[in-house]
């Protein structure tokens, strides 16, 4: 029985648990006044080239995105995002919850949106002000919901919308490490045009740990209030921060992302060899979307393997997600499952 | 110089002004405790077959829609509406402002959405609960933003979504009279499947007056609080109510709507006869969408005629709206404008 | 039968109706693009010494206050106001509705709050940041809910909180004219320290018309979006603006306020002469709060006179409001009512 | 150096860490579909006498309270709570953030509110409907912010407000265990009149773990959506649930609360013996509020002991919080600190 349901079914990496145990002794100031959090702010600030006070640990990814987006815009402004993005489709309206800002869903091949589609919405809205909410931020998921990755050139292409219309860029980095190892960019290169980043630790191997990293000082102002008010200020914050530190140490997060990406490449190979199967989306990170003949898929599911149908990719389409914890044997176990006939 | 920009550029009908003058003497209880408001609630209740306490006068259409929709759903629920609907495109996020509920924009020919498109969204959302906001209400604009009208059969076709998924129906009736005279339905027939109606008085000939009419007792509960809290409880309410009473008296609202629709039919005829012009959308109420050769349109605009380009209908497309105040001479003045060459 | 329930039971002043009739001919651009609105912005801007684009007509006072306050602060900030202020007690939470900002209610004699009470809350909150919402704006009602008036010196005393803590001042001027004629200040002097003003037209003699006037350019930015989104952008705005213009013309608003204040002074005199009655609050504008022996008050109510008990002022306390429409004969009719024994 | 700053500076109890390690192997369904969460729902449901589907693990206490309160009321309703309650003073407006409902702060001796004070606000609000937000829920902190505990009789006294006005009761149980061992009540007795409970695990000895427990089926409906939308649905939920299970096992949470309460009693004794010191509030749980001569307090602080001044209790007042991790030696270390003279 192999798990390809999501990278969040995996356990925490052993180094995460070691770090938790190490920090769990004695008293520590609450609400982030502790030494682990101080150290994390320094270390993550150094990774992304921002000051320590621009690093904000939180509990989970939904809130991380919601906080980031709501800090960056006003209620009468809107967010441009892919129609299949997590923030539009999988957060039950969290990004709109606090001030009701609209998400404008955009179509786009392989989970990516384009500057052209954004420009169309921006110009349409501005021409109809103040009747239409004003687009103010573009949310890019990196890697995307379809396991693809925006190249540096693709990211740079959004810059003209920033200078021309004052647009800001949010990067949903729930799987940022997977994109970084896929592109070969450094973390700093990856966020060069970004105002605010959701940095994901949970899918990367933590127990639960995420962080908002803010590159725009205007958005960073008062963020302490915003985080508190969304219920994301941990009282015993050291236990969040120490996980993040363990991920950053010796680039563990990138090593684990590399491992996950490699397994996705292996899985792609294995699925490609199946009669009647078809890879539907370029495999650039740790997800594989494939059409699998129904009889085969059903046999796999009946054998207890865990993965989801993905109807937005068409009939008989399925999603397979790998993680640092995926083993080659999991892939073999999946594809070698006997098909009942 | 003729005005086809919108039906809200017209003055108030003389009978509205007479009513205002008539009611403007002596003191009256504020916040709706006055005799005009009592009478209106009776009269409008009778028109739509609801009890007087289900009739709620308000100031304007944006708030009328926003109030109606927010009363009907929770923040984690969503609204299904046409992508070009007023509530999605022209209210600057008002329907989402109070609790952040999402509007899911749907495509649909000639400004109409279909039960099929709704069903797709509903089933997709339910399958992914609680990650996707739950669709709870369908908002139908009658007549639509494109001047078309849902037939009784088209309205009835949404009923299965109500029984099957508990969906509710909101009708945006900013131009309800135009739809009623177009279909020949009675007001009660028109709202047979509707839970909550935005009844428009302003575009119908009032100075400023709208009303929410509620058919679902659960939504009606506490509506007094909701209206107050959105800033739509007029202190001198008699001046809103008396306008509505004047519209209802002897079916003035339908008479004026009839007049507007007839002018749209005339305008359609006149535009059709222009070389190179094309009617783009069936003319069923008081709006005409047409492709007009650029040279001709520009001449009209330069001559001071007022109407808007409508790019969503394609290149060289324009919108022309008629109202009770449109005269045949306005149409003649428009189409007989000399084209400079 | 005499009316002292509120200044909003009065009819509109005849000059308001004349103005409405005068403007009700021909077409006019909607949403404020009309000539009446343009003229109003110039004229009211001149009265208060701001640019025309800082004047924002709206429908009513609740929304006027709500809009003003929400434009000035963020959701994690708070509003300091008197515990009996309209915004805290009479708006059903409208000022908090859009982004959930807190109102911190302060006690204070005769409806007035003090800089000292504000300072206490500000310092307490700042010391506990980010756990306590940050005070950002002080809302002063002028004249107050108890018919008293802040003197210029009292208003000026809040200035140190502005320089020291960046506090802003909102003035709820639903009865601003009454305060102006009471103090002898000019409108500009009255708002010298104010960032944002709710200017009341309805209680001053209009049918329905209010305006937000903004003195702080940062708050003024994007206010067009905010007004739209709260459902306060009238499509046929000329009918709001023309009322305001009529009030400003030849200082009609101040003349009517003067008349109302004079009647309150007369009423105070008349009530004072009643055996067992007591004036409870200094009468400085158009409201009288008095203790009236129960037998007498009941006789008046039974005779059909309209006024409210006001328990917050103690046992047997009642509120009497005068307006421009109050006649000396109304006062005589009230106090000469036979008391049944 | 001894810590009395708060019970959230303590480390997690060793049994919590053991449980985390035990569960951290293999894959598990995300978002609460895992075996640990299933078991927790059964076990905590049994403790409080509710069905498993009324138990909702979340990350932290702020969100726990915010979620509970917002699920129970509408935006036009209000929450009655002590003026020093956490929800009013320490959550940066979180309980109001989602729909802007008001908290009405009430005074009350030793951190407790009374049915009488609640009744006054309820009746005042209802008499002024819909202008005043309608009180709908009473939030009781148990044990209170001042370390006192509502007796069963005091809790029962709120019942008449439930039957008479439909009020609901929320219990903020961040320190519920301390109240339970203090009163000798069973958990079920403690919540007999409660509709919704915030159950605190973090201060009780967990790393981070809280839960909403709902006794009212109407509030429980759709709570899955609400939790998701506030960013409180953990993807790797097993790591939250397993902590809670460890707390419940063999009543560890009550054993640890007992330990904390005992240390508070010891501390009270030790402080009482200090010359010039005075205990200001009855010590009924794990907090001691005392007036300490300034010279002594300063010496303690300079020696590195950690505790906070508490000005709301008067001049020279300080708060001392004990936890399961407080040792007798901490108390001795504190009170035996040499006072510099």
Cα C143 to Cα B164: distance, rounded to the nearest angstrom:
56
Chains with at least 3 CB pairs less than 8 angstroms from chain B: A, C, D
Task: Inform me whether the pLDDT recorded for C112 exceeds 80.
Answer: yes
Q: Do the beta carbons of residue C229 and residue C221 sit within 8 Å? A: no
pLDDT value for C242: 98
Average pLDDT rounded to a whole number, residues C250-272: 98
List all residues 6 or more positions away from C161 whose beta carbon is below 8 Å from its beta carbon: C115, C118, C119, C122, C138, C167
List of chain B residues with pLDDT < 70: 341
Instruction: Find the CB nearest A229 among C76, C227, C229.
Output: C76
Q: Which residue from D172, D96, D162 is spatially nearest to D139, judged by alpha carbons? A: D172
List all residues 6 or more positions away from D110 whose beta carbon is below 8 Å from its beta carbon: D144, D146, D148, D281, D282
pLDDT value for C1: 87
Cα D33 to Cα D46: distance, rounded to the nearest angstrom:
19
pLDDT value for D335: 96
Mutate to test the interface with B, among C235, C306, C326, C334 (most CBs of B within 10 A): C235
Cα A139 to Cα A135: distance, rounded to the nearest angstrom:
11
Residues above pLDDT 90, as percent of chain D: 97
Query: What is the number of alpha carbons within 13 Å of residue B128 lying toward its C-beta?
Result: 23
Chains with at least 3 CB pairs less than 8 angstroms from chain A: B, C, D
List all residues 6 or more positions away from D88 whose beta carbon is below 8 Å from its beta carbon: D81, D82, D103, D105
Mutate to test the interface with C, among D66, D96, D132 (most CBs of C within 10 A): D96
Residue A132 and residue B90: Cβ atoms within 8 Å? yes
Q: A11 contacts in D (CB within 8 Å)?
A: 24-28
Q: Do the beta carbons of residue D28 and residue A47 sit within 8 Å? A: no
Q: Do the beta carbons of residue D110 and residue D144 sit within 8 Å? A: yes
Closest residue of chain D to B76, computed from CA coordinates: D225
Per the DSSP assignment, residues forming a β-bridge with A110 are none
What is chain A's alpha carbon radius of gyration, rounded to the nearest angstrom? 20
Average pLDDT rounded to a whole number, residues C336-340: 86
Chains A and B form CB pairs within 8 A to the count of: 61
Angle (CA) D287-D291-D294 rounded to 5° is 125
Query: Tell me: the pLDDT tens digits for C296-310?
Result: 999 999 999 999 999
Q: A103 contacts in B (CB within 8 Å)?
A: 102
Mutate to test the interface with C, among D66, D90, D92 (most CBs of C within 10 A): D92
| 3-class DSSP state of D317 | strand
* CB atoms closer than 10 angstroms to residue D186: 13
* CB atoms closer than 10 angstroms to residue D29: 18
Residue A96 and residue B105: Cβ atoms within 8 Å? no
Q: Which residue from C74, C205, A108, A235 is spatially nearest to D323, judged by alpha carbons? A: A235
Query: Tell me: the pLDDT tens digits for B170-196?
Result: 999 999 999 999 999 999 999 999 999
pLDDT value for B338: 85
ipTM, 2 decimals?
0.96
- What is the helix (H) or strand (E) element at residue B105, kind and residue range? strand B102-106
* Residue environment code for A99-119, b if the CB has 16+ CB neighbours within 10 A, otherwise e: bbbbbbbbebebbbbebebbb
- What is the helix (H) or strand (E) element at residue B58, kind and residue range? strand B55-58
D329 touches chain A (CB under 8 A): no
pLDDT value for D63: 96
Residue C99 and residue A129: Cβ atoms within 8 Å? no
Torsion region of D239: left, alpha or beta (phi above 0 gives left; psi -120 to 50 gives alpha): alpha
Quick one: CA dihedral A36, A38, A43, A45, positive or negative?
A: positive
Residue C102 and residue D89: Cβ atoms within 8 Å? no
Cα D323 to Cα A203: distance, rounded to the nearest angstrom:
34
Mutate to test the interface with B, among D225, D235, D237 (most CBs of B within 10 A): D225
Distance from CA of C323 to the nearest CA of B (A): 11
Query: What is the number of alpha carbons within 13 Å of residue A165 lying toward its C-beta?
Result: 24
Q: A131 contacts in C (CB within 8 Å)?
A: 228
Cα A192 to Cα A48: distance, rounded to the nearest angstrom:
9
- What is the helix (H) or strand (E) element at residue C199, kind and residue range? strand C196-200
pLDDT value for D211: 98
Residues 141-200 of B with CB under 8 A from C: none
Q: D129 contacts in B (CB within 8 Å)?
A: 224-225
Cα B206 to Cα D85: distance, rounded to the nearest angstrom:
50
Arithmetic mean of pLDDT over chain A? 97
Task: Inform me whether the pLDDT recorded for D341 exceeds 70.
Answer: no
D241 touches chain A (CB under 8 A): no
In degrees and rounded to multiples of 5, residue A316 shows phi and psi of 60, 25
**Is the preceding omega at residue B79 within 30 degrees of 0, hence cis?**
no
Chains A and C form CB pairs within 8 A to the count of: 48
Quick one: CA dihedral C239, C244, C247, C251, positive or negative?
A: negative
List all residues 6 or more positions away from D184 whose beta carbon is below 8 Å from its beta carbon: none
Residue D130 and residue C92: Cβ atoms within 8 Å? yes
Residue A66 and residue D92: Cβ atoms within 8 Å? no
Residue D31 pLDDT level (bands cut at 50, 70, 90): very high
Average pLDDT rounded to a whole number, residues A131-146: 98
Residue C100 pLDDT level (bands cut at 50, 70, 90): confident
Average pLDDT rounded to a whole number, residues A6-28: 97
pLDDT value for C341: 65
| 3-class DSSP state of B46 | helix
| 3-class DSSP state of B111 | helix
Residue B12 and residue C26: Cβ atoms within 8 Å? no
Cα A38 to Cα A43: distance, rounded to the nearest angstrom:
9
Cα B325 to Cα A76: distance, rounded to the nearest angstrom:
34
Query: Tell me: the pLDDT tens digits for D282-320?
Result: 999 999 999 999 999 999 999 999 999 999 999 999 999
Q: D92 contacts in C (CB within 8 Å)?
A: 76, 130-133
Mutate to test the interface with D, among C74, C93, C128, C145 (most CBs of D within 10 A): C93
Average pLDDT rounded to a whole number, residues A273-281: 97
Q: Do the beta carbons of residue D75 and residue D100 sit within 8 Å? A: yes
Q: B75 contacts in A (CB within 8 Å)?
A: 93, 97
Average pLDDT rounded to a whole number, residues D171-178: 98
Q: Do the beta carbons of residue B202 and residue B256 sit within 8 Å? A: no
Read out DSSP for A284-322? -SSEEEEE--HHHHHHHHHTT-B-EE-GGG-TTEEEEE-
Q: A99 contacts in C (CB within 8 Å)?
A: 75, 98-99
Cα C16 to Cα C243: distance, rounded to the nearest angstrom:
5
Residue B9 and residue C28: Cβ atoms within 8 Å? yes
* A287-291 vs A102-106, strand pairing mode: unpaired
Residues 59-88 of A with CB under 8 A from C: 74-77
Residue C339 pLDDT level (bands cut at 50, 70, 90): confident
What torsion do the CA atoms of A77, A80, A86, A92 make, to the nearest 10 degrees?
30
Residue A59 and residue D61: Cβ atoms within 8 Å? no
Longest CA span, chain A = 63
C-alpha distances (whole Å) from B222 to each of B89, D65, D78 are 28, 25, 14
Torsion region of D136: left, alpha or beta (phi above 0 gives left; psi -120 to 50 gives alpha): alpha
pLDDT value for A341: 65
D340 touches chain C (CB under 8 A): no
Query: Tell me: the pLDDT tens digits for D210-248?
Result: 999 999 999 999 999 999 999 999 999 999 999 999 999
Distance from CA of C130 to the nearest CA of A (A): 5
* CB atoms closer than 10 angstroms to residue A143: 28
């Amino acid at each position: 029985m192999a798990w390809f349901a999501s990278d969040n079914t995996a356990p925490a990496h052993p180094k995460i648990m070691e770090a938790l145990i190490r920090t769990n002794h004695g008293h520590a100031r609450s609400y982030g006044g502790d030494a682990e959090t101080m150290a994390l702010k320094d270390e993550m600030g150094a990774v992304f080239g921002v000051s320590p006070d621009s690093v904000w640990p939180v509990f989970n990814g939904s809130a991380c995105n919601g906080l980031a987006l709501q800090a960056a815009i006003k209620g009468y402004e809107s967010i441009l995002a892919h129609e299949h993005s997590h923030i539009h489709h999988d957060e039950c309206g969290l990004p709109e919850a606090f001030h009701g800002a609209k998400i404008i869903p955009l179509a786009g091949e392989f989970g990516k949106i384009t500057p052209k589609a954004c420009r169309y919405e921006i110009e349409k809205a501005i021409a109809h002000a103040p009747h239409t909410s004003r687009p103010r931020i573009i949310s890019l998921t990196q890697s995307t919901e379809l396991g693809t990755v925006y190249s540096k050139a693709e990211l740079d292409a959004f810059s003209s919308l920033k200078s021309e219309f004052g647009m800001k860029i949010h990067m949903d980095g729930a799987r940022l490490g997977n994109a970084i190892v896929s592109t070969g960019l450094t973390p700093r290169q990856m966020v060069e045009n970004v105002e605010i980043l959701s940095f994901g630790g949970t899918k990367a191997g933590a127990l639960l740990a995420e962080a908002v990293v803010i590159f725009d000082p205007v958005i960073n102002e008062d963020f302490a209030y915003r985080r508190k008010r969304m219920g994301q200020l941990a009282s015993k914050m050291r236990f969040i921060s120490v996980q993040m530190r363990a991920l950053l140490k010796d680039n563990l997060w990138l090593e684990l992302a590399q491992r996950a990406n490699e397994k996705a490449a292996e899985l792609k190979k294995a699925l490609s060899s199946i009669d009647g199967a078809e890879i539907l989306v370029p495999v650039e990170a740790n997800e594989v979307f494939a059409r699998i003949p129904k009889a085969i898929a059903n046999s796999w599911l009946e054998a207890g393997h865990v993965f989801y149908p993905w109807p937005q990719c068409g009939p008989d389409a399925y999603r397979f997600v790998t993680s640092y914890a995926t083993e080659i044997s999991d892939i073999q176990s999946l594809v070698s499952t006997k098909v009942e006939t």
